[in-house]
Amino acid sequence: MHVLILGGTSEARRLAELLHGTGVPRLTSSLAGRVSSPRLPPGEVRVGGFGGVDGLVAWVRDHGVDAIVDATHPFAETMSFHAARAAAVTHVPLLALRRPGWVPVRGDRWHGAGSLEEAAALLPALGRRVFLTTGRMGLAAFAGLDDLWFLVRSVDAPEPPCPRQTETLLARGPFTLDGERELIRRHRVDVVVTKDSGGAATAPKLTAAREAGVPVVVIRRPPVPEGVPVVPDPERAARWVLDRLGGRSSPTLG
Ligand code: NAP
């Protein structure tokens, strides 16, 4: 019995921790390999793409996978789509683990955007000094905004092309509210851009922006592929896995 976790998130790591030692005979976490020194989960870890849907189908068959949890980031749309296709082809049960998105509260000045490009188009009307927290990929969408200054925060160095006036801050969450307040103050940030990643680790920037009266461009999530069941936390994902395997073994969740 073999469980495949498509990872790259703290929730995926937590799920691996929960399942490790429950009696699940084989557990593999898969990472895309985007981050140079990822925090590794317990159990087996494989790194790198599968080679599209066909590659994933072959991997699932070759390695006797019995259940898949897509615990990738809410914006890892391609991988989620591939997982849904591969699960349909192989008839292996698939669950999506998605932390809930953020919800605005009183005082927030949020502007929704459907993509990085839409976010870039909104910026000139909102501010001049941008705190860009959408990750190191896709900065080309902002590269034409020569009049704006960008503070780009990412785990690894951003990939060019980048905006002309860019300062890079290499950092990995979780971030503190005091730290985010200080960043906004010190860099005189007047607009923030974020994906609707959800979760507590990177939410303090939203509070700091609200307190400072700074608008936030929030990029909306892509949908989870149709027909794939979704749970919001690792505990429920672990329960789903154990229920799937329950007929064949009797592992318990610690
Ligand atoms: P993506 O656009 O959905 O996927 C692009 C390709 O990367 C996939 O087709 C697949 O290659 C490979 N891939 C993605 N996730 C993989 C995984 N867990 N294991 C093996 N291969 C994987 O993904 P992305 O947005 O570039 O994100 C890459 C990874 O970073 C994901 O694991 C995600 O959880 C994590 N992450 C993403 C974001 C974000 O904002 N997108 C933020 C934080 C963390 P093949 O087609 O060759 O299989």
Pocket test for ligand 1, best of 79, 115, 136, 196 (most atoms within 8 A of CB): 79
CA of 37 to the centre of ligand 1 (A): 15
The pLDDT profile of the chain, 254 residues, written as one tens digit per residue, is 999 999 999 999 999 999 998 889 999 999 999 888 889 999 999 999 999 999 999 999 999 999 999 999 999 999 999 999 999 999 999 999 999 999 999 999 999 999 999 999 999 999 999 999 999 999 999 999 999 999 999 999 998 999 999 999 999 999 999 999 999 999 999 999 999 999 999 999 999 999 999 999 999 999 999 999 999 999 999 999 999 887 554 456 65
Sign (positive/negative) of CA torsion 147, 168, 101, 199?
A: negative
* Domains located in the chain, CATH noted: 2-100+222-245 (3.40.50.720), 110-219 (3.40.50.720)
| Model pTM score | 0.93
Give me the amino acid identity at 183: L
pLDDT score recorded for residue 250: 46
Output the DSSP codes for 89-149: HHT--EEEE-PPPP---TT--EEEESSHHHHHHHGGGT-SEEEE-S-SS-GGGGTT-TTSE
Going by alpha carbons, the residue nearest to atom 25 of ligand 1 is: 76
Q: What DSSP designation does 251 have?
A: -
Q: Are the CB atoms for 205 and 194 separated by under 8 Å?
A: yes
Structure tokens at 46: 């494989």
pLDDT score recorded for residue 35: 85
Output the DSSP codes for 50-91: --HHHHHHHHHHHTT--EEEE-S-TT-HHHHHHHHHHHHHHT
